[in-house]
Structure 1
Amino acid sequence: MAEVESFTLDHTKVKAPYVRLIEEQKGPKGGTIANYDLRLAQPNQTSIETGGLHTLEHLFASLMRDRLDGIIDISPFGCRTGFHMISWYTYDTETVAKALKETLTEIRDSIEFSDIPGVSEKTCGNFKDHSLWSAKNWAKVILDEGISSDPFERKVV
């Protein structure tokens, strides 16, 4: 079985919320992608309920792209503690953390349900499972804790 980097990470040592560059991968034809860990909740202590996570996913898909070029995808972890962000560009973790902070601030302060992209039966595979209240609450919690540019040492941006 192939080794997966995230399964070798010691989840008992990380200090969420943080941004971590997991790895850069070169493709067979020369392109390079960067994979980031946007960890919002402390592993094995708490997790984001699916409605809030789903809403954050939809909002991140648009709002993070407004702030960082080259984002290919932002997808939630199955453990519901954060997201993978895949990008054509390699940004330093402080830059990504600042973009995440700005995004969460916008979610907390000004996003209304009508602003969330893709929340209809036609545009979402599980359109009934959204919670703006939860997304806003998590945005507040994360911003209050501060987002670190390092997973092991608190370097809040």
Structure 2
Amino acid sequence: MTPPTIGQQQPGAQLDPRLRDTLGEVDHRRVAPPYLRLISCLSGTAGDRVYQWDLRLSQPNREHLDLAVVHSLEHMLLTYLPQHIPQVVNVGPMGCQTGFYLTIVNSDSYDQVLTAVHAALADAAEATEVPHANTTDRGRAAMHDASGASGTARRLLAAAADWTQVYARPGAP
């Protein structure tokens, strides 16, 4: 069997209808962050399913987050997200500084992932310090912005009702 390419849904999988139009590649000129969308779903040889999510925070090619904010949010999400959805494998910052890739195994519920991300961002919004931001645990402990990360989390939470809308609604600015 040929392994699926990025963005290819496995045959027989039930896909939440809200994810159908944005699975795989999207037109970065038309997206309207913040949003959470499924990028791909791959099956492992033992039957595990690996889901790659796009948690987009800012508009690609127009704005980006400060690197210290990205670094701090990465620490916060890596700490808080597994507390709400233990199947998290990784949280990886996008090189363009516009969001994060979330890798989650054996959890195909869009609502469960949305709820877990919301809860993790609520934890981040309340944080006054960055978890593991020290020279013992990490390699660049000085490059953090706890207040910037918490403020970004609050901004995202304020827009949570729109997280399932990847593209701008007709008539929206």
Give the TM-score normalised by the residue count of structure 2.
0.76
Which residue in 2 is equivalent to 1:14?
31
Work out whether 1:90 is the aligned partner of 2:107.
yes
Which residue in 2 is equivalent to 1:49?
66
For 1:21 and 1:7, the matched residues in 2 are separated by 8
Does the CA contact (< 8 Å) of 1:19 and 1:93 recur in 2?
Answer: no
Which residue in 1 is equivalent to 2:117?
100
Distance 1:81 1:124, change over 3 A: same
Which of the pair has more CA radius of gyration?
Answer: 2
Distance 1:12 1:94, change over 3 A: farther
Which residue in 1 is equivalent to 2:128?
112
Sequence identity of aligned pairs in percent?
25
Work out whether 1:132 is the aligned partner of 2:146.
yes
Look up the SS of the partner of 1:34 in the other structure. strand
Distance 1:111 1:141, change over 3 A: same
Work out whether 1:149 is the aligned partner of 2:159.
no
Look up the SS of the partner of 2:60 in the other structure. coil
Does the CA contact (< 8 Å) of 1:71 and 1:87 recur in 2?
Answer: yes
Structure 1 portions without partners, runs of 5+: none
For 1:94 and 1:27, the matched residues in 2 are separated by 23
Does the CA contact (< 8 Å) of 1:69 and 1:89 recur in 2?
Answer: no
Deviation per residue, 1:82-110 (Å, 9 max, x gap): 101111123333332222222222222x2
For 2:84 and 2:38, the matched residues in 1 are separated by 17
Letter in 1 for 2:77: F
Task: Tell me the CA shift for residue 31 of structure 1.
Answer: 2.5
Which residue in 1 is equivalent to 2:89?
72
Which residue in 2 is equivalent to 1:34?
51
Look up the SS of the partner of 1:126 in the other structure. coil
Deviation per residue, 1:31-73 (Å, 9 max, x gap): 3211000111121221111111111000100111111121100
Distance 1:126 1:16, change over 3 A: same
For 2:56 and 2:134, the matched residues in 1 are separated by 28
Structure 2 portions without partners, runs of 5+: 8-22
For 2:131 and 2:158, the matched residues in 1 are separated by 26
